[in-house]
Amino acid sequence: MASGENPFGTTGVRALLVLRGLLGASSLFLRFYAIHYMPIADASVIIFSVPVFVSALARIFLKEPCSIFHLAAVMVTVVGLVLITKLPILFGGPAEGGYPTDTRGLVAALSSTVFGASVYIVLRRLRDVHHSVIMFNFAWVAILETGAISLLTAELLLPRTVFDSSLLIALGAFSFGGQLLLTRALQLEQAGPVSMVRSGADIILVFAWQVAFFGEVPDAYTISGAVLVSACVLFTGLRKWIDTLPENSVTRARMAWLLF
């Protein structure tokens, strides 16, 4: 309202605003669901692969160009995801010393990735809409969707202990702090380096915390898959940054092989 915009948007974009809210809320809900049913590192690496698949969806729905680099990144990422999930049809079960992957968590993580990538496509369609309008509609759609899911699954419960309440408060505080610091980082540095550092740090830390707090040691398949996915995500972010550099940039000339 302070921006002078209609909080529900104009007639022509209201359907897209609701769709963005549904996709974003579904992606977030499925992310927590996936973490509940599979190792946190596995779920996180799968979900962090969103940037790689955005290019493929942009080609399909927005007719944006898709380079050889993007095609290669998608294929390598898929190989990495297969190694992480250890599909029974290919591996016949969990690797020795590894842990089984719950199908519910796997489906939720992959679905969260698809929904998350789709959000970027819808946001591209809404690029002329004020960000406050987008966030307002995301908020009310997310509240309605998560409330409906909680009622339908009979899971609308308040925290039962002080510890549970503390965890919820900590979750909100860390989430807010993370978004605040990310915003500040983007104000001080270009998006490419920030996204690369964030993606790399996220994956490394999530593996460290999985071992430290849950005692779940990833097997060789998971580590190999995580390396492949991480490399694709990092190189995708690096490519976007290089593409924004001036044509006469020395860095752009040295890294021109990423732009094919």
Residue 205 in domain = yes
The CA distances from residue 253 to 191, 197, 201, 213, in Å, are: 20, 22, 27, 44
Distance CA 94, CA 87 (A): 9
Q: Helix (H, G, I), strand (E, B), or coil: what is residue 153? A: coil
The model's pLDDT over 245-260, given as tens digits with 9 standing for 90+, comes to 888 888 888 888 877 7
The model's pLDDT over 232-242, given as tens digits with 9 standing for 90+, comes to 888 888 888 88
The CA distances from residue 63 to 55, 56, 117, in Å, are: 10, 10, 15
pTM for the predicted model, two decimal places: 0.78
Distance CA 96, CA 171 (A): 34
The model's pLDDT over 72-98, given as tens digits with 9 standing for 90+, comes to 888 998 898 888 877 655 555 554 444
Residue 30 in domain = yes
Residue 179 in domain = yes
Q: What is the CA radius of gyration of the chain?
A: 20
Residue 1 in domain = no
Residue 3 in domain = no
The model's pLDDT over 93-118, given as tens digits with 9 standing for 90+, comes to 554 444 555 788 889 999 999 998 89
The model's pLDDT over 208-221, given as tens digits with 9 standing for 90+, comes to 888 888 888 888 88
Q: Which domain holds residue 247?
A: 11-259
**Overall number of domains in the chain:** 1
Q: Is 90 exceeded by the pLDDT of residue 177?
A: no
pLDDT at 87: 66
The model's pLDDT over 122-147, given as tens digits with 9 standing for 90+, comes to 888 888 888 888 888 988 999 999 88
Distance CA 51, CA 241 (A): 13
Identify the H or E element spanning 254. Answer: helix 250-254
Residue with tokens 């190694």: 83
